[in-house]
């Protein structure tokens, strides 16, 4: 949901695709795969032009991996999380979005000390663990392998830089730097899929100003 905020990764991808295609944000803050699986048919269907969709990203796990005892509302068991991802992929394939146009994104790593401060400020205990989030990231990667989709393993990539705290604004959500990192990594995968897309309408300097109909109709 926040990806279209200023400096958000979604906004960055949309900017790169101006006059190529529309980037539609269907992110929902706080949601998990259990809920997303239910509403996906309302978001993408044959009637909404699924066959003309050139790419779909599925980005879940940060909420699913919340600790059951401390955050039962958002928590989804690991096996169900993987099954839900597979279910969403199968649904997309049923409306003619083929697996080569689907990109799974793992949850980012959790910076526990920063997130614990946010939790304590609300009177709560630390309700997530980075090691647990890592298991969900691994499951996401495995689903991609099993289903033949692309995958962006954000959890692993961000931790190649040992101090990954700069990628997160509060230990959980992406910072400006984290959004930029995700946009760059995602674009490296999208660019191949979208490089052949033509520009929408000619550039102004190529329009025949004496007979614009010839250029624009």
**pLDDT-derived band at 46, boundaries 50, 70, 90:** confident
Tell whether the model's pLDDT for residue 49 goes beyond 80: no
User: Once rounded to an integer, what is the mean pLDDT over residues 61-69?
Assistant: 97
| Locus of tokens 């992406």 | 174
List the CATH number of the domain containing 114.
Answer: 3.40.50.1110
Q: Is 57 helix (H, G, I), strand (E, B) or coil?
A: strand
**pLDDT-derived band at 213, boundaries 50, 70, 90:** very high
Instruction: Retrieve residue 197's tokens.
Output: 């897309």
Look up the domain containing 65 and give its range: 2-215
Tell whether the model's pLDDT for residue 53 goes beyond 80: yes
- Mean pLDDT over the full length of the chain: 94
In angstroms, the CA 33 to CA 40 distance is 10
Eight-class DSSP state of 46: G
- Total domains, the chain: 1
14-23, 84-93, 102-111, 174-183: segment of lowest average pLDDT: 14-23
Is residue 36 within 8 Å of residue 88, measured between CB atoms?
A: yes
Please give the model's pTM, rounded to 2 decimal places. 0.93
Q: Facing residues of 59 across strands? A: 105
199 or 142, which is more confident: 142
Evaluated on CA atoms 45, 48, 51, 54, the torsion sign reads negative
**pLDDT-derived band at 196, boundaries 50, 70, 90:** confident
SS3 content of the chain, % helix, strand, coil (to 5): 50, 5, 45
In angstroms, the CA 36 to CA 45 distance is 14
């Amino acid at each position: 949901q926040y990806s279209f905020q200023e400096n958000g990764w979604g906004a960055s991808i949309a900017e790169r695709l101006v006059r190529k295609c529309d980037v539609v944000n269907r992110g929902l803050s706080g949601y998990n795969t259990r809920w997303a699986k239910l509403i996906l048919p309302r978001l993408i269907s044959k009637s909404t032009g699924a066959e003309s969709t050139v790419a779909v990203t599925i980005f879940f796990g940060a909420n699913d991996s919340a600790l059951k005892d401390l955050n039962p509302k958002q928590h989804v068991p690991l096996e169900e999380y993987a099954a839900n991802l597979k279910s969403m992929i199968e649904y997309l394939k049923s409306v003619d979005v083929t697996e080569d146009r689907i990109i799974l994104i793992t949850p980012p790593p959790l910076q526990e000390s920063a997130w614990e401060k946010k939790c304590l400020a609300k009177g709560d205990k630390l309700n997530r663990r980075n090691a647990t989030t890592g298991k969900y990231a691994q499951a996401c990667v495995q689903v991609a392998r099993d289903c033949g989709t692309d995958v962006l393993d954000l959890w692993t990539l961000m931790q190649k830089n040992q101090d990954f705290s700069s990628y997160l604004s509060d230990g959980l959500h992406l910072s400006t730097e984290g959004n930029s990192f995700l946009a760059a990594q995602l674009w490296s995968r999208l660019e191949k899929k979208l490089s052949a897309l033509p520009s929408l309408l000619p550039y102004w300097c190529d329009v025949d100003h004496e007979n614009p109909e010839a250029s624009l109709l």
